[in-house]
Amino acid sequence: MTEVLTQEAPTASEGLSLDRASNRKPMISAAQIARRVHRLGKQISVVYADIDTPLVIVVILKGATVFSADLLRSLSIPAELEFVRASSYPTGTSSNGRLKLAHMVEGPLVGRHVLLVEDIIDSGVTVNAVARRIQRMGAASVRLAGLLDRPARRQVPVKIDFTGFVIPDRFVIGYGLDYAGLYRELPHIYALT
C-alpha cells in the first residue's frame, strides 16, 4: 500500500540546514525509504514473475539513479538496465513545461516488458513523453514505478503502477533528488520549500 505523507514542511523562517550533522527532521527517513523500496521490489517481482525475457528497467536520469539501484537489488527476477536522460527542471524548483530528452534507450525493446523508473512524478509531462517513446519502440508493455508522487502539480494524467510515497506540494531533495545538481547524496528526503 502506498504511503501518503501529509506532514507539512517547515516554514522558510525555520531555515534549511543540509549538512549531515543537521538535527532537521526529514520528510521521509532512509529507513522508511528502504522498507518501501523493498516492498515495491517484491510487488514488482510478483507482477513480472511469468514473463519469458528479463524485465527491462528504464531509469530516468539523473534523479532516479539511487532509487533504481536499490529497487533493482530488491527484485527476485532477472532484469536489464537501460537509461533515459530527460529533464523539465533546467534550474530552480519548478518545471518549465519544456521536456528535454538528451539520451534515449540504446537496446532493442521490441516485444519486451519495460518498467519505467522515475524519482518523482509531478507534472506527468516527462514520464508520459518517455512512455510514449518507449511504446513506439515496440515494447510489449510499459509500466511506471515512482518513488514519489506529487499529484498537486499534475498537468497530464499519469497511471503510476508502483508508488513509493505520495507527498504534499513541496520541492524535495535527497536520495537522488537534487536542487541545482546538489544534495543527491543525502540518505533521507527533505522538503526544501
Residues 64-123 pLDDT 10s: 999 999 999 999 999 999 999 876 655 555 555 667 676 577 778 999 999 999 999 999
Nearest to 162 by CA among 130, 124, 121, 125: 121
Res. 173: pLDDT tops 70: yes
Spatial contact of 111 and 127, defined as CB atoms under 8 Å apart: no
One-letter amino acid for residue 70 of the chain? D
Q: Is the dihedral of CA 73, 35, 163, 192 positive or negative?
A: negative
Catalytic residue among 52, 122, 169, 178: 122
Count the Cβ atoms, other than its own, within 10 Å of residue 157.
Answer: 7
Res. 144: pLDDT tops 80: yes
One-letter amino acid for residue 89 of the chain? Y
Q: What local confidence, expressed as pLDDT, does residue 13 receive?
A: 34
**How much is the pTM?**
0.84
Count the Cβ atoms, other than its own, within 10 Å of residue 30.
Answer: 14
Active site residue 52: no
